[in-house]
Structure 1
Amino acid sequence: MIGLGRQITQNTIRRSYSTVAPRKVGAVRGGLLGFLVGVTLTGAGSYYYLLDEYKVANNVIVADVAALQSSIANLEKHVKTLESRK
């Protein structure tokens, strides 16, 4: 019986010591703050990337419209030349 009592006290002593650190509230706040900072930086980077892509695409469209206007002007000139020959 004495041996059994000794085992119980040793088990309770072992259970009272923990190797896991208690989780603090600051860790949750830090994790949330890190997440928000990461999302904000990623969003800002994506915004500027998409803005740059939009500008490039817009410049291409404007150049195509200018080329189309020039082509139409040349076609109108050619048609007027053909009509004046008749």
Structure 2
Amino acid sequence: MGAVLRGARGSGPESDALSVIRAGLRAADVGPGIASALAGGVLRAGRRRVRLSEYGRVCVVAYGKAAAAMAEAADAAAPASDGIVVVPAGSP
């Protein structure tokens, strides 16, 4: 018999399935990661730190399925001067 997953407030398989789905959706949300990487006007990439105020312009470049969500989160955290976003056809 395999492992059994239980939701935090769950009382059955439906609740357990919803808990797993919600966790997956939270993990797939790129917004919090982008916001964290740009918090306080400082770009964080690995061990590097770049204060965006030291630059006259900020240009956002995003490509792929999550590009629109990443660009929106980046612009909310540190408004861009310019940018380009490339998403697959039919993307929201």
Give the TM-score taking structure 2 as reference length.
0.30
Bigger Rg, which one: 1
The structure where strand makes up a greater share of residues is: 2
Higher share of residues assigned helix: 1
